[in-house]
């Protein structure tokens, strides 16, 4: 059995934010595989589904991002799912917008949702589907937390359906062929073109954040 988790923050005010692209991807997956209706449990909402012939649980923690592990760990325990059966879909600052990449294991790289899951489950040895949202563009005035808790611009909104489709196809391939085979296919896809300086934000002001720089992600409580 697989546990496919999409990360995000609950509530209408967060629904369209970059930080909620994991929720969006799980919703798209639920539609693609015709999952059962979502029901409340495990401090979240979950739905039963079948993916590539395998039974699966789709889960969206309703704990706020920083406490995602409080939802994921009980679900894993209840359904007796090992870390190898866990797939987490999440936003990724260090990938350009629209890029989808697979990864198994590793740390949290500053992502507080992953940080919480690793802390509660006692391991980082699970699969991830990383959905690129990119770094704040030139001219963005605010912290990284402000960026992830903001909506996509017009250019990104136009490309979002393809990004979600890639994420769904990635999960289907993992379920059908395993992570190694799926990574050989998905991680060698050409990267989408980079957004030009100032495109989508109406500005050509200061340069983006330095490579490797990572700001704080939003707290558990509403900002």
**Is 12 a domain residue?**
yes
Q: Which residues contact 188 (CB under 8 A, 6 or more apart)?
A: none
Q: Nearest-CA neighbor of 171 among 185, 182, 161?
A: 182
Print the domain residue range for 33: 2-186
The CA distances from residue 175 to 46, 63, 98, 168, 197, in Å, are 18, 27, 22, 11, 38
**Is 204 a domain residue?**
no
Annotated binding residues for tRNA, written as ranges, equal 14, 64, 66, 112
Q: How many domains, in total, are found in the chain?
A: 1
Q: What is the pLDDT of residues 144-191, one digit of tens each?
A: 999 999 999 999 999 999 999 999 999 999 999 999 999 998 887 655
CATH number at residue 62: 3.40.50.1470
What DSSP designation does 164 have?
A: H
Strand partners, 87: 4, 127
The per-residue pLDDT for 203 is 36
The answer to whether the Cα torsion of 213, 155, 25, 189 is positive or negative is negative
Which pTM value belongs to this model?
A: 0.83
The active-site residue out of 17, 19, 90, 111 is 19
CB-based burial label for 89 (10 Å; 0-12, 13-18, 19+): buried
**Is 104 a domain residue?**
yes
**Is 177 a domain residue?**
yes
Mean of pLDDT over the chain:
88
- 8 Å CB contact between 92 and 130: yes
> Distance between CA 130 and CA 113 in Å, rounded?
12
pLDDT of 110 above 90: no
Query: How far does CA 112 lie from the centroid of its chain?
Result: 12
Band the pLDDT of 213: cuts 50, 70, 90. very low
Annotated binding residues, written as ranges, equal 14, 64, 66, 112
**Is 208 a domain residue?**
no
pLDDT of 16 above 80: yes
**Is 197 a domain residue?**
no
Return the SS3 of 158.
helix
**Is 155 a domain residue?**
yes
Residue 120 among the catalytic residues: no
Q: Decide which of 212 and 132 is more confident.
A: 132
The per-residue pLDDT for 192 is 52
| Cα dihedral 38/113/157/214 (nearest 10) | 180
Token digits for 159? 């490309």
Mean pLDDT of 195-223: 39
**Is 215 a domain residue?**
no
In percent, the amount of the chain with pLDDT more than 70 equals 84
Q: What is the pLDDT of residues 33-53, one digit of tens each?
A: 999 999 999 999 999 999 999
Mean pLDDT of 193-204: 42
């Amino acid at each position: 059995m697989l546990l496919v988790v999409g990360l995000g923050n609950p509530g209408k005010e967060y629904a369209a934010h970059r930080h909620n692209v994991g929720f969006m991807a799980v919703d798209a997956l639920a539609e693609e595989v015709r999952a059962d209706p979502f029901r409340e449990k495990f401090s979240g909402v979950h739905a039963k589904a079948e993916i590539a012939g395998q039974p699966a649980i789709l889960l969206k923690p309703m704990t706020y991002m920083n406490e995602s592990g409080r939802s994921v760990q009980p679900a894993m325990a209840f359904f007796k799912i090992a870390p190898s059966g866990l797939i987490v879909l999440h936003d990724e600052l260090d990938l350009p917008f629209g890029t989808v990449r697979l990864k198994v294991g590793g740390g949290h790289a500053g992502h507080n949702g992953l940080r919480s899951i690793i802390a509660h489950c006692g391991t980082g040895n699970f699969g991830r589907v990383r959905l690129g949202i990119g770094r704040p563009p030139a001219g963005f005035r605010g912290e990284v937390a402000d960026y992830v808790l903001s909506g996509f611009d017009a250019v990104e909104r136009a490309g979002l359906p393809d990004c979600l489709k890639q994420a769904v196809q990635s999960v289907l391939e993992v379920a059908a062929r395993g992570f190694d085979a799926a990574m050989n296919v998905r991680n060698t896809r050409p990267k989408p073109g980079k957004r030009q300086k100032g495109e989508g934000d109406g500005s050509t002001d200061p340069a983006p954040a330095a490579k490797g720089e990572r700001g704080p992600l939003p707290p558990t409580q509403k900002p």
